[in-house]
């Protein structure tokens, strides 16, 4: 048993009918707890006595000098943002997408995919921010990682996972514009890029892009281990092809078409198995 449950009808139509409201199916307990944790940590940052806790959980520039390595894991689960009703809309959209993904993947695969995508994105964002600060003293922005803190990474993961699992579903964007779910992968990156133009948060933009890309890779490759093996095999293939190209240029080798070694251009091709 891997904790996988049968998928419900789904919050979105998978045919040409488009988007609909979520049916009255039981809410996964894991998602209820996740949303409660995100909202609780979001609320704690507005009280002087408790603001230290979300600050320790959010991804910050104190990670590398002070060794706060747990932030790479905890940052998606600490709610972030100003005091606004927008947080409720973010959590509602997160629930709509994540519920379908949870039922499709099951508990184990859902959490494994989420943690893999968020940790890799966190490491990539930290690496970019360290590079930016070394290259440009003071960095590009005074508040890095804002684009990927808390529920924003969870939203990026849930939407990317939904778009990967339901590629041909039709979704009414803003309840008006019909669009295939697979285009949400690029739409997320486009929205993050527009936000980057306003905030100059290169680390946060990198994190969102990596979350989207890693989520797609994990769900299409079949798991983190297989995804890493595929990446390694692709890198090895590219390296070998570059080496072969160098050798051909160095030795001025000519590649002959087909299987007829030494065949003249006008000579008819012969089956190599016929003697």
Three-state secondary structure readout of the chain: CCCCCCCCCCCECCCCCCECCCCCCCCCHHHHHHHHHHHHHHHHCCCCCCCHHHHHHCCCCCHHHHCCCCHHHHHHHCCCCCCCCHHHHHHHHHHHHHHHHHHHHCHHHHHHHHHHHHHHHHHHHHHHHHHHHHHCCCCCCCCCCHHHCCHHHHHHHHHHHHHHHCCCCEEEECCCEEEEHHHHHHHHHHHHHHHHHHHCCHHHHHHHHHHHHHHHHHHHHCCHHHHHHHHHHHHHHHHHHHHHHHHHHHHCCCCCCCCCCCCCCCCCCCCCCCC
* Global confidence as pTM: 0.72
Domain boundaries, the chain: 29-222
pLDDT, tens digit, 9 for 90 and up, residues 43-92: 999 999 999 999 999 998 888 788 888 999 999 999 999 888 999 999 99
pLDDT, tens digit, 9 for 90 and up, residues 195-252: 999 988 999 999 999 999 999 999 997 655 555 566 566 667 777 877 777 777 776 6
Report whether CATH 1.20.1540.10 matches the domain 29-222.
yes
């Amino acid at each position: 048993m891997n904790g996988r449950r049968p998928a419900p009808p789904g919050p979105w139509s998978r045919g040409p009918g488009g988007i609909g409201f979520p049916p009255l199916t039981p809410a996964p307990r894991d998602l209820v707890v996740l949303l409660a944790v995100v909202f609780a940590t979001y609320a704690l940052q507005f009280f002087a006595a408790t603001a230290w806790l979300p600050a320790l959980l959010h991804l910050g520039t104190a990670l590398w000098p002070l060794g706060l390595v747990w932030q790479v894991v905890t940052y998606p689960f600490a709610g972030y943002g100003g005091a606004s009703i927008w947080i409720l809309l973010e959590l509602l959209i997160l629930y709509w997408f994540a519920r379908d993904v949870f039922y499709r993947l099951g508990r184990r695969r859902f959490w494994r995919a989420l943690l893999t995508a968020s940790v890799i994105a966190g490491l990539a964002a930290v690496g970019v921010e360290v590079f930016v600060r070394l290259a440009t003293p003071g960095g590009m922005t005074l508040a890095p990682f804002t684009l990927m803190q808390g529920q924003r990474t969870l939203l990026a993961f849930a939407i990317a996972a939904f778009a990967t699992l339901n590629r041909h579903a039709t979704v009414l964007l803003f309840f008006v514009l019909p669009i295939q779910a697979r285009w949400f992968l690029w739409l997320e990156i486009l929205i993050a890029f527009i936000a980057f133009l306003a905030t100059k948060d290169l680390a946060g933009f990198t994190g969102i892009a990596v979350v989207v890309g890693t989520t797609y890779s994990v769900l299409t490759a079949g798991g983190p281990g297989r995804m890493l093996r595929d990446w390694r095999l692709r890198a090895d293939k590219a390296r070998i092809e570059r080496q072969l190209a160098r050798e051909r240029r160095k030795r001025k080798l000519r590649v002959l078409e087909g299987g007829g070694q030494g065949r003249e251009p006008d000579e008819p091709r012969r089956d190599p198995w016929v003697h």
